[in-house]
């Protein structure tokens, strides 16, 4: 879960690396570093802290007169043109605590290395190759640098092949060799690396966010291949030394879509982008008023031949799966499980060729989900993935992919990815209902028309953000908080509770409100705020009686309620009313409202909303 960047070309390498690391910081942000290389040698700058702290280190350590490796030599104004080459890293600590010494890059002898992943056998390697004496950090990465240096006899590819053959674990290695000035090498296993050759030179990064300000064309570095980057060429070889051509993808992420566009935090920007992201995700998938996946190359047989469905995902993506589960059961009357990807392979799942696996992942790199997909496919299941990042590892591992068109999601807390995942699920359920004769054509069109109201409905919710901000102000002092609801409201609140938990650090728990009496209500006091969701008309009366139970025990309650059923409840409770949709679509406005609630609590508490403590945007370690 770290961010890696490499650049070689004629531009200012230090600024390119630092700017890119700021864009990649959401992948990990406890320490950062860069290494700049040219004929004079390799110069490292690194520190615990954020990229902004690293910028200060760079300023402090270059007195302004000397030339930093890679920067054009200043002479009489006719700066000599030199290749600028360097690598950078922003870290989410796994092996070794947060310190300057443990920050990447790591340099041993002629080798300078940054790494994303976990080397499981690094201790054995220290013993087997007696590397202890050359190590100054507690990291597994430095062990790899030492091994590379041990095997390096002038041929980078040879040294990389020998080293990698002795590694166990996941890795993305990005290496510079002192006597190969201007060249950067990378190889990977599971951890992601994308690369490009563009007019500014050659670049590689952990993900597209760092590249899309330069180009929309990129390729994924295949596993167990070695990519050599030079300012005017890239060379991809497999481990037998055979050269292969990179397979380029084109991304449609606009330059400024990876910036904040004036918002204080990416999370707010991404919440506000949802109406457009939802419209973009539906575009080309509704033809004649009916759901249509022909543009995605997804065959109808995938939906007609399966006997059961298994959703595999983590976190917010799994919560989207819970909504899908409610739709599949209530409309298709099919068996459907929603599996926590990290538990999936250890739970003896019932998976076979009649199972349709739906893998959900914003990043497409979550290793738990990736490994679960590989496991399910080995058991004969067909896998359709719902992914936001094109060409990502899970997308490449799947039989078919439906991309959400949410654009780059930078904030660690997932928002627009979640609601666009839901859009894809609504379209899948409608397509299956039509194909299986559960819906007539007219019923399907009516369902899709309701889905097409979502962007405007969410815009209405976003228009209520001042009211939601006021409610958020009443939760700032809470240490514990309950979110209660039944059925689909419970699924809505599981996601709302995760949002609040991960950005405000309030211990928020979502509970099926009928379950409270079986223990959890013991925790309700006048200091325990309760957030309720009441959007399902058939559940309203029972939900209200559960709300009265917690109210009678002193809890302050705010209810997010469907407008048309609010009646005169405002006389008794604090309400946030939500614009009406058919019950099964109310998750959309309710989720946007709960996203805003979490956002305002966090921002009013003065936290860095986009980079919550201990978290990273992409979880690429098991
Ligand atoms: C959501 O707000 C969290 N950041 C986290 O639960 C996230 O949804 C989860 O890690 C899955 O990530 P993915 O969608 O990229 O696979």
pLDDT, tens only, 459-510: 999 999 999 999 999 999 999 999 999 999 999 999 999 999 999 999 999 9
Average pLDDT of the segment spanning 125-136: 91
pLDDT in tens, 517-528: 999 999 999 999
Ligand 1 neighbourhood includes 366 CB (under 6 angstroms): yes
Q: What is the pLDDT of residue 255?
A: 44
Tokens standing for 92?
């989410």
Tokens standing for 451?
């889905």
- Comparing 33-42, 64-73, 474-483, the range with the smallest average pLDDT is 64-73
Q: What is the pLDDT of residue 78?
A: 45
Which of 619, 621, 622 to mutate for ligand 1's pocket (most ligand atoms within 8 Å of CB)? 619
- 3-state SS string over 74-137? CCCCCCCCCCEEEEEEEECCCCCCCCCCCCCCEEECCEEEEEEEEECCHHHHHHHCCCHHHCCC
Q: Does residue 382 have a pLDDT over 70?
A: yes
Closest CA to 139 of 187, 94, 191: 94
pLDDT in tens, 282-301: 998 999 999 999 999 999 99
Ligand 1, atom 5: closest residue by C-alpha: 315
The chain-wide mean pLDDT, for the chain, equals 92
Tokens standing for 178?
């002192």
Q: Does residue 11 have a pLDDT over 80?
A: yes
Work out the pLDDT band at 254, boundaries 50, 70, 90.
low
Ligand 1 neighbourhood includes 502 CB (under 6 angstroms): yes
Q: What is the pLDDT of residue 66?
A: 54
Q: Does residue 556 have a pLDDT over 80?
A: yes
Q: What angle do CA 158, 164, 168 make, to 5 degrees?
A: 165
Which of 26, 206, 342, 366 to mutate for ligand 1's pocket (most ligand atoms within 8 Å of CB)? 366
Q: Which atom of ligand 1 has the smallest separation from the CA of 314? A: 11
Q: Which atom of ligand 1 has the smallest separation from the CA of 617? A: 4
Work out the pLDDT band at 258, boundaries 50, 70, 90.
low
Ligand 1, atom 2: closest residue by C-alpha: 413
Average pLDDT of the segment spanning 100-119: 94
Q: What is the pLDDT of residue 74?
A: 44
Ligand 1 neighbourhood includes 392 CB (under 6 angstroms): no
Q: What is the pLDDT of residue 69?
A: 60
Average pLDDT of the segment spanning 169-182: 94
Ligand 1 neighbourhood includes 412 CB (under 6 angstroms): yes
Q: What angle do CA 325, 323, 272 make, to 5 degrees?
A: 155
Q: Does residue 75 have a pLDDT over 60?
A: no
Q: What is the pLDDT of residue 618?
A: 79
Catalytic residues: 2, 617
Report yes or no: 129 and 147 within 8 Å, Cβ to Cβ.
Answer: yes
pLDDT in tens, 17-29: 999 998 888 778 8
Q: What is the pLDDT of residue 257?
A: 58
Report yes or no: 217 and 194 within 8 Å, Cβ to Cβ.
Answer: no
> What is the Cα 176 distance to its own chain's centre?
28
Average pLDDT of the segment spanning 389-414: 92
Average pLDDT of the segment spanning 25-52: 89
pLDDT in tens, 183-236: 999 999 988 899 999 988 999 999 887 888 888 899 999 999 999 999 999 999
Residues 6+ apart with CB under 8 A from 514: 486, 542, 546
Ligand 1 neighbourhood includes 36 CB (under 6 angstroms): no
Q: Does residue 79 have a pLDDT over 60?
A: no
Average pLDDT of the segment spanning 399-414: 94
Average pLDDT of the segment spanning 111-122: 94
In the chain, the N- to C-terminal Cα span, in Å, equals 10
Q: Which atom of ligand 1 has the smallest separation from the CA of 417? A: 14
Ligand 1 neighbourhood includes 414 CB (under 6 angstroms): yes
CA of 418 to the centre of ligand 1 (A): 9
CA of 36 to the centre of ligand 1 (A): 33
Q: What is the pLDDT of residue 425?
A: 98
CA of 197 to the centre of ligand 1 (A): 30
Q: What is the pLDDT of residue 80?
A: 53
CA of 208 to the centre of ligand 1 (A): 17
Q: What is the pLDDT of residue 190?
A: 86
Ligand 1 neighbourhood includes 388 CB (under 6 angstroms): no
Q: Which atom of ligand 1 has the smallest separation from the CA of 366? A: 16
CA of 565 to the centre of ligand 1 (A): 33
CA of 412 to the centre of ligand 1 (A): 8
Report yes or no: 189 and 224 within 8 Å, Cβ to Cβ.
Answer: yes
Q: What is the pLDDT of residue 256?
A: 46
Average pLDDT of the segment spanning 424-439: 98
CA of 278 to the centre of ligand 1 (A): 18
Q: What is the pLDDT of residue 73?
A: 44
């Amino acid at each position: 879960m770290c961010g890696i960047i490499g650049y070689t070309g004629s531009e200012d390498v230090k600024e390119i690396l630092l700017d890119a690391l700021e864009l990649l910081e959401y992948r990990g942000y406890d320490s950062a570093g860069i290494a700049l290389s040219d004929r004079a040698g390799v110069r490292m700058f690194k520190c615990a802290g954020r990229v902004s702290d690293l910028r200060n280190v760079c300023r402090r350590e270059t007195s302004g007169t000397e030339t930093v490796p890679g920067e054009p030599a200043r002479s009489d104004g006719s700066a000599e043109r030199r290749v600028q080459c360097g690598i950078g890293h922003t870290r989410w600590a796994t092996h070794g605590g947060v310190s300057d010494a443990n920050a990447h890059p790591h340099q041993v002898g002629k080798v300078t290395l940054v790494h994303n992943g976990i080397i499981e056998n690094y201790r054995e390697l220290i013993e087997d190759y007696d590397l202890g004496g050359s190590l100054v950090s507690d990291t597994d990465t430095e062990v790899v640098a030492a091994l590379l240096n041990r095997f390096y006899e002038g041929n980078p590819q040879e040294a990389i092949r020998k080293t990698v053959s002795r590694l166990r674990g996941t890795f993305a290695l990005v290496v510079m060799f002192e006597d190969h000035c201007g060249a950067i090498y990378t190889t990977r296993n599971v951890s992601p690396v994308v690369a490009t050759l563009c007019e500014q030179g050659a670049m590689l990064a952990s993900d597209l966010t760092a590249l899309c300000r330069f180009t929309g064309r990129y390729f994924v570095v295949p596993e167990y291949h070695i990519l050599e980057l030079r300012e005017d060429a890239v060379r991809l070889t497999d481990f037998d030394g055979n050269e292969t051509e990179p397979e380029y993808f084109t991304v449609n992420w606009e330059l400024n879509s990876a910036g904040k566009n004036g918002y204080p935090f990416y999370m707010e920007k991404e919440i506000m982008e949802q109406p457009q992201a939802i419209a973009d995700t539906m575009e080309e998938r509704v033809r004649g008023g009916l759901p249509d996946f022909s543009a995605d190359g997804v065959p109808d047989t995938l939906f007609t031949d399966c006997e059961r469905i298994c959703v595999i995902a983590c976190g917010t993506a799994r919560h989207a799966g819970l909504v899908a589960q409610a739709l599949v059961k209530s409309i298709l009357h099919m068996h459907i499980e929603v599996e926590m990807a990290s538990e999936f392979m250890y739970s003896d799942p019932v998976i076979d060729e009649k199972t349709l696996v739906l893998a959900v992942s914003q990043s497409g790199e979550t290793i738990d989900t990736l490994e679960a997909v590989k496991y399910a496919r080995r058991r004969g299941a067909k896998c359709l993935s719902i992914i936001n990042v094109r060409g990502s590892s899970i997308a490449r591992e799947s039989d078919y992919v439906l991309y959400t068109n949410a654009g780059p999601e930078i904030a660690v807390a997932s928002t627009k990815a979640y609601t666009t995942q839901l859009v894809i699920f609504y379209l899948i359920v409608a397509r299956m209902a039509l194909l299986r004769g559960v819906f007539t054509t007219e019923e399907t069109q009516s369902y899709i028309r309701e889905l097409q109201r979502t962007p405007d409905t969410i815009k209405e919710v976003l228009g209520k953000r001042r009211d939601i901000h006021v409610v958020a102000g009443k939760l700032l002092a809470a240490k514990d908080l309950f979110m209660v609801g039944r059925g689909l409201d419970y699924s809505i609140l599981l996601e709302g509770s995760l949002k609040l938990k991960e950005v405000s650090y309030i211990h928020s728990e979502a509970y099926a409100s009928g379950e409270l009496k079986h223990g959890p209500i013991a925790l309700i006091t006048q200091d325990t705020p309760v957030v309720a969701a009441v959007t399902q008309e058939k559940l309203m009366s029972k939900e209200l009686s559960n709300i009265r139970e917690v109210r009678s025990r002193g809890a302050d309650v705010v209810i997010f309620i469907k407008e048309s059923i609010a009646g005169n409840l405002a006389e008794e409770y604090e309400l946030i009313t939500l614009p009406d949709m058919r019950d099964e679509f109310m998750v959309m406005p309710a989720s946007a409202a709960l996203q805003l609630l979490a956002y305002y609590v966090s921002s009013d508490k003065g936290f860095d909303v986009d980079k919550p403590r201990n978290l990273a945007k992409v979880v690429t370690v098991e």
